[in-house]
Structure 1
């Protein structure tokens, strides 16, 4: 276990410093007008930590959205490969991976934000747990701050280090933990449901990618619900805030930049048409230009030729009746 402990310490130590710098920074700022020892100050510091981390992960989230969109758009090609190479699993796997590579698609990109947050989540868990049990300092979190962090209470009676399973009969802890676990589970489910119902075309709702999304739809909330009852109140605030950020961020992207052929795209078109109508102008609709009528060359009108008898009757003057060049021929 010694070598594994050394490896774990090597990985976690940089995270302890990053998390403690942000956490202590927010705590110092909030302490200028809030109680430094209060649970609300530490909880808001955790919320601030969450927002900083999620802001830093925005480029990864954008990559995730692009990869998810590519996965949706290439589903017809994946189905063609399945029909063509369904009898040869190795060939099918090779051609599918080649398709992913050619289109710049990563089928596991939707899990990347969660996977990258897990070490941060674990570091915060250990930071709070060890501060509460041993007043142990990590990073820039001093022993004095660690002690205050571990003893902080919300509403004067709910320690942020306690969990639902270890509430020691504290009803406030159990109620608040249950609310946060339900919120964490619900936001996870709604975020995944929003993606499948609004931003996936009909032909992408079947096949391997759809099965992966359906699996995440039901598995992730169960994992969070089961694990959440063992998380401290402070850690539950981190994860619930992170889920709310994810849901809002995804809503914004789907609303303003939906995938082609999805209900979200049709909804955006309807909003754009309604907005144009409210402004007093017609909705912008592309109409093919009408072909111009064929123009015939102008013909020069000339007087008709007269016979000798007609000229005698008219006194040698031509009549005013004109004729076209076609009549002359």
Structure 2
């Protein structure tokens, strides 16, 4: 954990040196904003991992019909089913555990921050968090509530109790809504059953309970970090689902309707019910105009003029025979 202490404290102290000039070195606002800055830096660094998670999650959704076929085919042979399923994952480049990677990577950072806050509450410094900074951090308050306080150590302080309960609810709600957003908007109907769906449902209900129970012992500063991280995840996931949804999902249908509405607003051709466009219908109408010999008003084709020839070329040509009258 020592390298993580240095990384986390370095980022926090760096932001604190910036916000401390505005709000004061000992102010709670400077330290809270430093925690939010730490969250933004960590989540920005995890964007490649998030992209990998999205791709793997989408592959898991798309291969669910093939997984179901394997389950029917090898229903009585669990070993063969496992082998064929793993071969399918390898063929499609899918990692069934990729959805847990961002959380797993963040947990060591989470515990490192927890230990730094715990030491700062006792006035002890660690890594780049010097004893002086640790004392400021441990005694910093936001809205009159110490950010190092917990529900267990509130000693009847109404402000700590209210803020801790509020942040526990916010942390639990954002965790639940983030997972719910993924399942309701970006999962096709075929993927709502089977092992992958069971895994998603497990995360949907278990993770909020874990954070709700653990949040009772978390310092307020730590819950600010995790709630900010959840809000980042919600916004990031909303952007991806809205602009690049998985095929056959409600999000994909909504994007198709938005694209049609934008095209109609710009006056671009929009596909109709019969699969033809407005411009196509106009073109077809023009092509369907009756020809001249059917009484139409089309202009006759111009008569092609003979090419000009020199006198020597005309002498070389044989004389033309007159046409016999019929």
2:237 maps to which of 228, 250, 253: 250
Q: Take 1:55 and 1:283, find their aligned partners in 2: how far apart are those partners?
A: 38
Aligned to 1:68: 57
Runs of 4+ deviating beyond 3 Å: 284-290
Gaps of 5+ in 2: 289-323
TM-score (norm 1): 0.83
Q: Take 2:163 and 2:113, find their aligned partners in 1: how far apart are those partners?
A: 19
Gaps of 5+ in 1: 1-11, 294-316, 320-329
Q: Take 1:31 and 1:22, find their aligned partners in 2: how far apart are those partners?
A: 14
Aligned to 1:145: 133
1:112 maps to which of 75, 91, 101: 101
Q: Take 2:89 and 2:268, find their aligned partners in 1: how far apart are those partners?
A: 43
User: Secondary structure, in 3 states, of the residue corresponding to 1:23?
Assistant: helix
Query: Bigger CA drift: 22-31 or 278-287?
Result: 278-287
Question: CA offset at residue 284 of structure 1?
Answer: 5.7
Question: CA offset at residue 86 of structure 1?
Answer: 1.0
Q: Take 1:273 and 1:186, find their aligned partners in 2: how far apart are those partners?
A: 34
CA RMSD in angstroms comes to 1.8
Question: CA offset at residue 37 of structure 1?
Answer: 0.3
User: Secondary structure, in 3 states, of the residue corresponding to 1:261?
Assistant: coil
Question: CA offset at residue 287 of structure 1?
Answer: 5.6
Aligned to 2:157: 170
User: Secondary structure, in 3 states, of the residue corresponding to 1:32?
Assistant: helix
Q: Take 2:131 and 2:233, find their aligned partners in 1: how far apart are those partners?
A: 34
Aligned to 1:238: 225
User: Secondary structure, in 3 states, of the residue corresponding to 2:126?
Assistant: coil
Aligned to 1:307: none
1:198 maps to which of 185, 192, 205: 185
Aligned to 2:169: 182
Q: Take 2:155 and 2:22, find their aligned partners in 1: how far apart are those partners?
A: 32
Question: CA offset at residue 31 of structure 1?
Answer: 1.1
User: Secondary structure, in 3 states, of the residue corresponding to 1:166?
Assistant: coil
Q: Is residue 94 of structure 1 aligned with residue 83 of structure 2?
A: yes
Write out per-residue CA displacement over residues 92-124 of structure 1, whole angstroms, 9 at most, x where no aligned residue: 011111111111101010000001100000000
Q: Take 2:271 and 2:130, find their aligned partners in 1: how far apart are those partners?
A: 62
Question: CA offset at residue 264 of structure 1?
Answer: 0.4
Q: Does the 8 A contact of 2:20 with 2:27 survive in 1?
A: no
User: Secondary structure, in 3 states, of the residue corresponding to 1:33?
Assistant: helix
User: Secondary structure, in 3 states, of the residue corresponding to 2:23?
Assistant: coil
